[in-house]
Amino acid sequence: MILPHGRARLLILCTALTLLVGLIMVSPAAAAPSNCTNNRSLKQVTDEPVANTMPVLFVHGINAGADTWDGPVGSDSEDSFPRKVADLSRVSAFTFDYKPAQPEWVTDPRIGPTLRLAINCLAQASGYKVMVVAHSMGGLATQYAVSLPNGRSGGKTWQDVAEVITIGTPTRGSITASLLHHLPVAAARAPALRSIEGILGVCALYGRVNDDSMCGIVDMLRSPQGRALAYESEDIKKLPPWPKDLPVRAIAGDIKLSLNSVFGVTSLPEASVGDLAVSLGSATAYTNKTGTPRVLTCRNNQVPLRVLGSDCNHVNVKTQPTVVATAIKQIKRVQREQTGLRAPELAYASGNTVSLWTDGKAKALATIPTGYRVQQIAWSGSGLSIAWTATKGNGSASRVYLARRGRGEPPAHARIHEWECNDCSTIAFRGEELVSDGASTAERAALWSYPSLGEPRKLAPVSSLRPIDGCFGPACGRLDLLGPGPDGTVSAAYIDAGGNFTGVGTLYRIDAQGRVDRLDGADGSGLLGTVPILSPRREKIAITWFGHLSACEEYSGVSVLDQTSGQVTQPHLPDLPGNVWLVSSWFDSKGQLHAAFRSDQGCENIDDQFDSNGQRIHRWGATHVYRLIGGRWVETNEAPVLAREVHRGGRTASLLGTPPDTAPAGLAEGRLVAQNAANKTVDVAQKAHAFAWRP
Amino acid sequence: MRKWIFGVSGGLLLIAVVVYFVVGNRSDSDTDSAKPPGQQELPYRPGKPVPAQVADVVQDLVADDVQTQRAALTPEWEKALPPGRLLAKGSRLELRKNSWHEEGGYANAQATLKKPGESAQRVLLAFAQRDGAWQITLAEEIK
């Protein structure tokens, strides 16, 4: 068909606009964290980093979807219950949506089993147990999900859950559902039965203008799902019991109904009808370790037509302000408890032992072979995995170690795996996956990936790096790991051009599939002191670089990669006489970079440039400490340290000692001190040479 | 440029017209001209004629003798009410035509109640089916 010119243009325009509107409508508000995206039922409420937050998972009930938490129709979703929770400090909020699986029962693979995967994934990604807020049948879906394995040896999903709050969950079933399915309701007392039957009559063929109306719930209870929800149904009885060690808190709505009727009788006994869909007895039938259930009572709804819109009815109760405030108070408490349970833990290496230190108590985690020395210690974002590298004194061999423990297990229970890795120098966690450099060549870009169960390491290819542009030397084509990036990525520098006199290379962020995001480049002739220096919240990485202009003009400095923007700040070296060298750099609790520098006078016109071992002789001046303010180094009166790391909670660990004569000073040995619970600085170990706070 | 602006304007107008008719029509079909006054939140669709047995039960409610009146109610409700007449002698209850909504053993209908010496009341009646017969389980004035 050939359309006139103008009409064709109009048609194209309308189609384009329709497509555009469609695209806008189907775009999710925010994606789940990258390592949980396989679970399409899971959506994060706000797009925030998940690591080190306590996830709160909202599970809706029968005849609903994730939007049920937005509150009554017309309310502002920006002010919704999940949004309020997402705005809490160190809390992330998620919704679990099983609407496509309705009207199936909670054992359907798309409901309970998928919910358990979501819980396991969030616990892994965050490093915290998950708090579940479940409405109606969502509580039964949770009851089923927590009984399922959590994917770790012998573990169950409830071990990944901190607490469950059920709101209007029919633990014994729903009398209303029984009535609608003409099933016996012997347990229902007459006043409640009378009142509920009146409501069911009112709701017969009720105009379904509003899907989320009370009568919508009555309609849904007529479905096969509703039959399963009948009072003391076989389906409910078959559910595994709640685990005895899992705290479960019940919140219920209770409408005290006293129908006046047209008969003029005002002395009818008040009847408790629960939230109309679920009786009070059923909604509060199970609590554990949380005291008495919280009951929201509504009395001012004598007229049945108004009862349908009561704050206490099954639909409204879950977003009623008192209920929301109660739940948020508990979420804050659980978050505090989880944080408190995890006192900052410092891993360190001294001699041939790797140990964990917490508030003055140290425990040996592992020993490394004699003659080896730990070069780097790294924690995964969840804090459940720790890895370190060890190199033989003469640099002829290296090994990579990985210890992973279950949630809440003591360090002694960690299983340790090790691999030979003579070609790698840096390790980092990409999400929870341990990777190292050493697999990349000028012909092939790749990382080594280390399986958590100790199987042989695998090549993890990296795609779409910028082509190498004529670089030379052993570093050419090498991927040096800088540290963990956001959203389960790892940040790396790629030496792709030039030689001694050009840049460190291009910086990239590499995701779990090996896809890259190109970031800024960085100055210097190469990386130096390759141990990544992370800011407390891991949003910045200090890149230590080395510059070489001639044999007598060498120097080193530090640049900052902002992991959020991908930009690199490259401050000029401080104004010191001679060649300036970095001693150490660290971030303070606010994420500001500090650095200690010293200088030597170079070697021009000096006869004894090298010692008997062929090492350059440096003639060091004093060490000065600077703070990076507005892209410039400003000298401070702080005492220099060999290394320092500040935990995100504010505690500081420092390696103290005299910088060695050799440059760089990055892997020096010294006295390790740290702040304990009383914020007093105490000795941790002598002759320590690597350390890292658990995030 | 002008042609392009006309094109965009035309497209938006077309979408607006389509949205108006589609949404507007749906909205009309979902609401009911017979909804009780003052009860915007309960928009009943037009119902069916009230069954004869239901009409009889409703008339029982205004019967002269107490037993007949009380037998019109479900036993649970009847037991809850104090003994005696439910409605005064001479009360009249007139069912509204086509106000019968029945679903799964429950139903409702609307009526006008006239008590002696009082003004007429709009009443919503709810019913439950017991052993095949309908009994009244709720009778509320619609204000």
pLDDT in tens, A522-547: 666 566 655 778 998 888 999 888 87
User: Over the stretch A129-150, which tens digit does the pLDDT of each residue have?
Assistant: 999 999 999 999 999 999 999 9
pLDDT at A3 over 50: no
pLDDT value of residue A474? 66
Q: Which residues of A touch B32 (CB under 8 A)?
A: 207
Domain ranges for chain B: 1-30, 52-141
Given a contact cutoff of 8 angstroms between Cβ atoms, the answer to whether A221 and A315 are in contact is no
Place of tokens 């890149």: A543
Cβ <8 Å between B138 and A304: yes
Characterize the bridge pairing of strands B106-114 and A91-96: unpaired
pLDDT value of residue A553? 82
**Mean pLDDT for the stretch of residues A179-183:** 89
CA–CA min distance A634, chain B (Å):
56
Cβ <8 Å between B31 and A190: no
CA distance A182 to A185: 9
pLDDT value of residue A50? 83
What is the band of A106 on the pLDDT scale with cuts at 50, 70, 90?
A: very high
pLDDT value of residue B68? 96
Cβ <8 Å between A201 and B126: yes
pLDDT at A488 over 80: yes
What is the band of B96 on the pLDDT scale with cuts at 50, 70, 90?
A: very high
Cβ <8 Å between B80 and A191: yes
Characterize the bridge pairing of strands B121-130 and A294-298: unpaired
Per the model's pLDDT, the better-predicted residue between A524 and A471 turns out to be A471
Question: What is the CB neighbour count within 10 angstroms for residue A617?
Answer: 13
Q: Which residues of A touch B104 (CB under 8 A)?
A: 180, 204, 222
How deeply is A550 buried, as exposed, middle or buried, from its count of CB atoms within 10 A (0-12, 13-18, 19+)?
A: exposed
Q: Which residues of B touch A267 (CB under 8 A)?
A: 82
DSSP notation for B4-45: HHHHHHHHHHHHHHHHHHHHHHHHHHHS-TTPPTT-TT--PP
pLDDT value of residue A459? 93
**Mean pLDDT for the stretch of residues A58-79:** 80
Burial string for A565-602 (b: 16+ CB within 10 Å, else e) reads ebebbbbebbebebbbbbbbbbbbeebebbbbbbbbeb
Provide the number of CB pairs (under 8 Å) joining chain A to chain B.
132
Token pair of A31, please? 């994606």
Confirm or reject contact between B103 and chain A (CB < 8 A). yes
pLDDT value of residue A12? 42
Cβ <8 Å between B126 and A204: yes
Cβ <8 Å between A180 and B104: yes
Q: Which of residues 253-312 of A touch B (CB under 8 A)?
A: 259-263, 265, 267-269, 303-305, 308-309
- Three-state secondary structure call for residue A225: helix
Q: Which residues of B touch A19 (CB under 8 A)?
A: none
Type of residue found at A576: L
User: Over the stretch A369-390, which tens digit does the pLDDT of each residue have?
Assistant: 998 989 899 998 878 899 999 9
Token pair of A167, please? 């709101």
pLDDT at B35 over 50: no
User: Over the stretch A308-365, which tens digit does the pLDDT of each residue have?
Assistant: 778 898 988 999 999 999 999 999 999 888 866 667 899 999 999 999 998 888 999 9
Given a contact cutoff of 8 angstroms between Cβ atoms, the answer to whether A53 and A90 are in contact is yes
- Helix axis angle, A214-221 to A190-202, nearest 10°: 100
Give whichever of A27-36, A223-232, A659-668, B125-134 has the largest mean pLDDT: B125-134
What is the band of A304 on the pLDDT scale with cuts at 50, 70, 90?
A: low
Cβ <8 Å between A10 and B102: no
What is the band of A61 on the pLDDT scale with cuts at 50, 70, 90?
A: very high
CA B49 to chain centre: 12
- Three-state secondary structure call for residue A34: helix
Which of A194, A203, A208 lies closest to B77 in CB terms? A194
Cβ <8 Å between B10 and A204: no
CA distance A533 to B109: 75
Given a contact cutoff of 8 angstroms between Cβ atoms, the answer to whether A52 and A648 are in contact is yes
pLDDT value of residue A218? 80
Confirm or reject contact between A10 and chain B (CB < 8 A). yes
Sheet holding A361-367, edge to edge: A361-367, A353-358, A346-350, A681-693, A670-675, A652-656, A643-646
Q: Provide, rounded to the nearest whole percent, the portion of chain A with pLDDT above 70.
A: 84
Q: Which residues of B touch A262 (CB under 8 A)?
A: 87, 113, 121, 123, 139-141
**Mean pLDDT for the stretch of residues A56-63:** 94
Q: Which residues of B touch A180 (CB under 8 A)?
A: 104, 106
**Mean pLDDT for the stretch of residues B83-106:** 92
pLDDT at B49 over 90: yes
pLDDT at A228 over 60: yes
**Mean pLDDT for the stretch of residues A660-674:** 78
Per the model's pLDDT, the better-predicted residue between B142 and A188 turns out to be B142
What's the whole-model pTM score?
0.59
Query: Closest by alpha carbon to A545, among A592, A489, A475?
Result: A475
Q: Which of residues 5-64 of B touch A (CB under 8 A)?
A: 7-8, 10-12, 14-15, 30-32, 35, 39, 41-45, 47
**Mean pLDDT for the stretch of residues B78-96:** 91
Query: Residues, chain A, total?
Result: 695
Q: Phi then psi for A216, rounded to 5 degrees?
A: -60, -40
What is the band of B8 on the pLDDT scale with cuts at 50, 70, 90?
A: low
Characterize the bridge pairing of strands B92-95 and B106-114: antiparallel
B140, B142, B143: best to mutate for the A interface, most A CBs within 10 A: B140
Q: Which residues, other chains included, contact A552 with Cβ-Cβ below 8 Å and sequence gap of 6+? A: A579, A602, A603, A604, A609
Q: Provide, rounded to the nearest whole percent, the portion of chain A with pLDDT above 90.
A: 43
Confirm or reject contact between B78 and chain A (CB < 8 A). no
CA–CA min distance A131, chain B (Å):
36
Per the model's pLDDT, the better-predicted residue between A21 and B52 turns out to be B52
Q: Which residues of A touch B88 (CB under 8 A)?
A: none
Per the model's pLDDT, the better-predicted residue between A180 and A442 turns out to be A180
pLDDT at A272 over 50: yes
Q: Which residues of B touch A202 (CB under 8 A)?
A: 42, 108, 124, 126, 138
What is the CATH code for A27-340? 3.40.50.1820
pLDDT value of residue A73? 52
pLDDT value of residue A141? 98
Q: Which residues, other chains included, contact A189 with Cβ-Cβ below 8 Å and sequence gap of 6+? A: A271
Query: Closest by alpha carbon to A187, among A200, A174, A197?
Result: A174
Confirm or reject contact between A201 and chain B (CB < 8 A). yes
User: Over the stretch A13-45, which tens digit does the pLDDT of each residue have?
Assistant: 444 444 333 333 333 333 345 467 677 899 999
Which of B8, B86, B104 lies closest to A13 in CB terms? B8
Confirm or reject contact between B84 and chain A (CB < 8 A). no
ipTM of the complex: 0.72
Given a contact cutoff of 8 angstroms between Cβ atoms, the answer to whether A349 and A377 are in contact is yes
Per the model's pLDDT, the better-predicted residue between A188 and B95 turns out to be B95
Cβ <8 Å between B126 and A202: yes
CA distance A536 to A287: 38
Place of tokens 């290296």: A398
B124, B137, B142: best to mutate for the A interface, most A CBs within 10 A: B137
Picking from A107-121, A215-229, A562-576, A623-637, which range would have the lowest pLDDT averaged per residue?
A215-229
Q: Which residues, other chains included, contact A445 with Cβ-Cβ below 8 Å and sequence gap of 6+? A: A461, A462, A463, A465, A477, A479, A494
Confirm or reject contact between B79 and chain A (CB < 8 A). yes
Which of B11, B45, B128 lies closest to A13 in CB terms? B11
Cβ <8 Å between B104 and A267: no
* A600 to A570, A603, A615, A619, A668: CA distances (angstroms): 22, 9, 15, 5, 18
Given a contact cutoff of 8 angstroms between Cβ atoms, the answer to whether A357 and A674 are in contact is yes
- Kindly tell me the number of DSSP H helices and DSSP E strands found in chain A: 12, 36
What is the CATH code for B52-141? 3.10.450.50
Sheet holding A579-587, edge to edge: A579-587, A593-600, A624-629, A632-636
Confirm or reject contact between A182 and chain B (CB < 8 A). yes
User: Over the stretch A607-638, which tens digit does the pLDDT of each residue have?
Assistant: 777 777 777 788 888 999 999 999 899 999 99
CA count, 13 A, side-chain hemisphere, A120: 20
pLDDT at B32 over 70: no
**Mean pLDDT for the stretch of residues A425-429:** 91
Question: Where does CATH 3.40.50.1820 sit in chain A?
Answer: 27-340
